[in-house]
Amino acid sequence: MPIPSIDLRALIDERPFGRYQIFVTALCALIVFLDGFDTQAIGYVAPAIVHALGIERSALSPVFSASLVGLTLGALAGGPMSDRVGRRPVLIAGMLIFGAMSLATALASSVTPLLFLRLVTGIGLGCVMPNAIALTGEFSPERVRSTAIMVMFCGFSLGAALGGLAAASLIRDFGWQSVFVAGGLLPLAAALLAWRCLPESPRFLIVQAKHPARLRAVLRKLAPDLPDDARIDSGVDVHARRHAGVSALFADKRSRITLLLWVIFFMSLLDLYFLSSWLPTVIHDAGIALDTAAIITSMLQIGGTLGTLTLGRVFDRVPPFRVLGAVYLCAAVCIVLVGLAGTSVPVLAATIFGAGFCVIGAQIGANALAARTYPTAIRGTGVGWALGIGRIGSIAGPMVGGVLLALHWDPQHLFMIAAVPVFFASVAAFAISAGARREARHAAHTPGEIA
């Protein structure tokens, strides 16, 4: 009797999105929730640090940027590393790093240690994100992959938003250090939970072909009826079993989409961190109380969460890059309107909500689309490098904001400038969509090719 052969891709893609996959997605969502809290913490406590340390606002620009340099290094290194050793160990190591460094940040008494600690914290944070994206995507059926990744990544937006709400009361009652204490203890506890409960990606395990027992243990959680003697195949998408490296992102006609993805990530994250770093300070300087400014700014992340939930199914059902381009175009309009809102709290809340809906919703959509663009053998590298290139933009964002504030730019012109990057992200997304349509037409008219 022949040994049954199981197509791994078909096993995942043709079955329902089951309880075990929901559990993995939820655990990754918890991890990026804490990632979001720690990433945005420095922006929320910045006004309190300025007051407590008696420094100029512009002195924090290097601190903002140091954190983002760390995020860049973590993403550029953590993505490729996960293609070598696995998504799970790199993700857990990242959590341990940023949890420990956040605790240490609570002890900082000047700008210099703040700068160093936020740099190392960023390295840990940067290792987490591409691996949470890859792990969620590799457990998800193709038909709901974008939705699963985007819903998981809502954890980041919720963590950042609740960070603003929590920061207002924590700073008032316990001082700014308490925000970093909370942001350190929780990730360390979550790292222990992940070590005990988080599985490795079955797609990664089959590509590596080194851990058949671990692969079968994971597959039994996905498919309890899997025959004991079944042979597991990688499926119709055959993956190289060697580490291909960054050069593979430009092989097999991927150069154009890789470069355009990098433009999208660079421009989008430049804008996102421009807004998240300086919105509380700009609003407070306009004459709005600090606690109110923190709450208004949290609308950026709340809008991003609802945008993500709304857009996820859209990306799975219609040409996704066309939708991405349209959403970024709407983001540019909303950002301009933020600058025109003046000191009206309701109008500021509404326009910042709209900006978050579009900018964050589109950025998380871009994360999902990057994960879908690359095969398993280079998925960590592809997502990590897209995020890493984006982080270069996120480093520039707070620095540009600091320069414009030092030049005393008014909010109207400040936010007009902030609308430009997402406009370019829109153009790049529309260019990817147009290229995909051309390739589809070419494939349809070329005999023997598979569309």
- Residue 73: its pLDDT value, please? 92
What are the start-end ranges of the E strands in 120-235? 231-233
Decide: 87 and 134 in contact? Cβ < 8 Å. yes
Nearest-10 crossing angle of helices 111-139, 61-85: 40
How many Cβ atoms sit within 10 Å of the Cβ of residue 365?
29
Please determine, for residue 427, whether its predicted confidence score (pLDDT) is greater than 50.
yes
3-state SS of 138-155? Answer: HHCCHHHHHHHHHHHHHH
Confidence band of 241 (pLDDT split at 50, 70, 90)? very low
Beta strands 5-7 and 231-233, pairing class: parallel
- Distance in angstroms (rounded) separating the CA atoms of residues 197 and 337: 45
Is the predicted pLDDT of residue 237 greater than 50, yes or no?
no
Distance CA 408, CA 415 (A): 13
Residue 23 lies in a domain: yes
Is 257 within 8 Å of 21 (Cβ atoms)? Answer: no
Q: Rounded CA gap, 131 and 79, in Å?
A: 7
**Residue 366 predicted with pLDDT over 80:** yes
Measured CA to CA, the distance from residue 156 to residue 241 in angstroms comes to 32
pLDDT digits (tens, 9 = 90+) for 27-40: 999 999 998 888 77
* pLDDT score for 4: 55
Task: Kindly report which listed range (3-12, 114-123, 147-156, 399-408) carries the lowest average pLDDT score.
Answer: 3-12
Tell whether the model's pLDDT for residue 5 goes beyond 70. no
Residue 449 forms part of a structural domain: no
Calculate mean pLDDT across residues 164-190.
Answer: 83
The pLDDT value recorded for residue 236 is 46
- What domain range includes position 14? 5-444
Nearest to residue 283, comparing CAs of 332, 339, 363?
Answer: 339
Quote the CA–CA distance of 134 and 149 in Å, as a whole number. Answer: 9
Kindly state the percentage of the chain with pLDDT values over 90: 29
The predicted pLDDT at position 15 comes to 81
Q: What is the pLDDT of residues 368-393, one digit of tens each?
A: 899 888 888 888 899 999 999 998 88
Q: What is the residue-averaged pLDDT of the chain?
A: 83
Distance CA 5, CA 404 (A): 62
Helix (H) or strand (E) holding 59: none
Per-residue pLDDT, 57: 67
Phi, psi angles (nearest 5°) of residue 228: -65, -35
Q: Identify whether 67 is part of a domain.
A: yes
| pLDDT at residue 292 tops 90 | no
pLDDT score, position 90: 94
Residue 208: partners with Cβ closer than 8 Å, 6 or more residues away: 86, 241
- Higher-confidence residue: 415 or 175? 415
> Is 402 domain-assigned?
yes
Sole residue written with tokens 């208004």: 296
Higher-confidence position of 58 and 90: 90
Residue 371 lies in a domain: yes
Give pLDDT, residue 447.
Answer: 47
Q: Flag whether 451 is in a domain.
A: no
Rounded Cα distance between 354 and 429, Å, is 20
Provide the percentage of residues in the chain whose pLDDT is more than 70: 91
Tokens read off for 141: 């059926």
Q: Is the pLDDT of residue 446 over 60?
A: no
pLDDT of res. 233: 64
Q: What integer pLDDT is reported at residue 6 of this predicted model?
A: 67
Q: Are 16 and 143 in contact (CB under 8 A)?
A: no
Give the pLDDT of residue 421. 93
Mean pLDDT of 416-427: 93
3-state secondary structure of 7: strand
pLDDT tens per residue across span 306-340 = 888 888 888 888 888 999 999 999 999 999 998 88
- Provide the pLDDT for residue 62: 80
Average pLDDT over residues 67-91: 88
First to last CA, the chain: 36
Alpha-carbon distance values, 400 to 50, 72, 365, 393 (Å): 19, 18, 25, 10
- Does a structural domain hold residue 450? no
- Cβ neighbours, 10 Å, residue 314: 18
CATH assignment at residue 77:
1.20.1250.20
Q: How far apart are CA 382 and CA 259, in angstroms?
A: 11
Dist CA 409 CA 398 (whole Å):
15
Number of compact structural domains in the chain:
1
Report d(CA 209, CA 207) in Å as an integer.
6
